[in-house]
């Protein structure tokens, strides 16, 4: 396989963007990425776009051709990628495989979601389509409820506390203050989290990622093209993708996301690296308990020790493994299809030394994108 680099990045502001639509968000992110890569859209040879449910959110299917058309990508292959909340991460992986295989030299990987055009109840119902309809959604289970069960068991088995969960949210909000694209650029306290409305015991409102609109894009290139076009290419060193049962009740241990474990193994093996080599990581913190599980499943601490690990400051900027320097899904926002790409953009900014206000000393970065409660996981390792 050929070496593959990221040579351009672009994203929109994340938030409740009432005056924007799916197409305008995608075009903005894509044009920014092309400008950053110093290429024109005519040089793009293929597009992979992640979106969970254009049909249910904005009543629009056939999204890949639509976005390619409005982006000026005429008559090239454009493919929609769907893996629930891991749609963006999987779009990146498909684009990576495309370039690595030699099929194309310059490819766009993007992600977008426009979630706020429907009411909160409709959003919840749409998101629940990523859970098992037969065994979970039909009984009224929503993702806050499913992740609450994971949290309850983690607390029961390992002594994890609500305070430790809250500390994830506090850290991520603090980091988001310095991210100009983040939805919530304000700090919160542990007490704020604990006093916020209960959503699904033990998860409170401020333990949960928000409903968000936004888009993000990256430009991938072959080694030859990257060295010609880019002064600071960021190389994809490893890529992993795995699945698990969609239904929680079919798993041996719901506090371990085996899809994450296996995807991470693949990425570490390909990159010839281990957890101790990672300088910063963007994990899929759709709920605070998801960040705790991710820190364990990616190998940064032992199973059951993530609560104390986080409480000791290891995941803060300046800690042993800074987690979610962007603000994470919790504070940066979570436009489902765009989240995995936005994670990669943060990794690129850190590796370029361009993450103003939240910069860490990073030579190797990791991203971790999850679909549903772990039915899909995609892990990437990037380096200078």
Catalytic residues: 85, 334
How far, in Å, are 18, 137, 194, 271, 307 from residue 339 at the CA level? 19, 23, 26, 23, 24
Question: b or e along 124-133 (b: 16 or more beta carbons within 10 Å of the residue's beta carbon)?
Answer: eebbbebbbe
Q: Are strands 364-371 and 376-383 parallel, antiparallel or unpaired?
A: antiparallel
CA 99 – CA 122 distance, rounded (Å) = 38
Q: Is the peptide bond before 202 cis (omega within 30 degrees of 0)?
A: yes
Tokens representing residue 162 in the block: 């609500």
Question: b or e along 294-331 (b: 16 or more beta carbons within 10 Å of the residue's beta carbon)?
Answer: bbbbbbbbeebbbbebbeeebbbbebebbbbbbbbbbb
- DSSP secondary structure code for residue 301 in this structure: S
């Amino acid at each position: 396989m050929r070496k593959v680099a990221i040579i351009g990045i672009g994203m929109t502001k994340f938030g409740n963007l009432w005056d924007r639509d799916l197409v305008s968000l995608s075009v903005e992110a894509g044009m920014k990425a092309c400008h950053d890569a110093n290429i024109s859209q005519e040089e793009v040879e293929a597009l992979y776009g992640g979106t969970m449910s254009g049909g249910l959110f904005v009543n629009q299917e056939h999204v890949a051709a639509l976005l390619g058309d409005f982006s000026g990508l005429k008559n090239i292959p454009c493919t929609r990628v769907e893996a629930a909340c891991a749609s963006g991460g999987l779009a990146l992986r498909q684009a990576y495989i495309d370039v690595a295989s030699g099929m194309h030299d310059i490819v766009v990987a993007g992600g977008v979601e426009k979630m706020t055009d429907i009411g909160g109840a409709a959003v919840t119902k749409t998101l629940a389509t990523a859970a098992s309809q037969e065994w979970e959604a039909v009984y009224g289970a929503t993702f806050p409820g499913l992740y609450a069960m994971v949290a309850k068991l983690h607390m029961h088995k390992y002594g994890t506390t609500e305070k430790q969960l809250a500390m994830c949210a506090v850290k991520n909000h603090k980091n988001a203050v310095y991210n100009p694209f983040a939805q919530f650029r304000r700090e919160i306290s542990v007490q704020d989290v604990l006093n916020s409305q209960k959503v699904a015991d033990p998860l409170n409102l401020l333990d949960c990622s928000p409903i968000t609109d936004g888009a993000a894009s990256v430009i991938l290139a072959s080694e030859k093209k990257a060295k010609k076009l880019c002064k600071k290419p960021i190389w994809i060193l490893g890529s992993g993708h795995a699945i698990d049962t969609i239904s929680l009740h079919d798993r041996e241990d719901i506090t371990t996301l085996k899809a994450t474990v296996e995807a991470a193994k693949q990425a570490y093996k390909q990159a010839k690296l281990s957890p101790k080599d990672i300088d910063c990581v963007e994990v899929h913190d759709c709920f605070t308990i998801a960040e705790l599980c991710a820190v364990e499943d990616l190998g940064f601490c032992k199973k059951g020790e993530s609560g104390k690990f986080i409480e000791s400051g290891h995941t803060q900027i300046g800690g042993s493994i800074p987690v979610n320097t962007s603000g994470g899904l919790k504070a940066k926002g979570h436009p489902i299809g765009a989240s995995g790409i936005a994670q990669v953009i943060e990794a690129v900014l850190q590796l370029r030394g361009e993450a103003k206000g939240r910069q860490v000393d990073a030579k190797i970065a990791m991203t971790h994108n999850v679909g549903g409660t772990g039915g899909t996981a995609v892990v990437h390792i990037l380096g200078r």
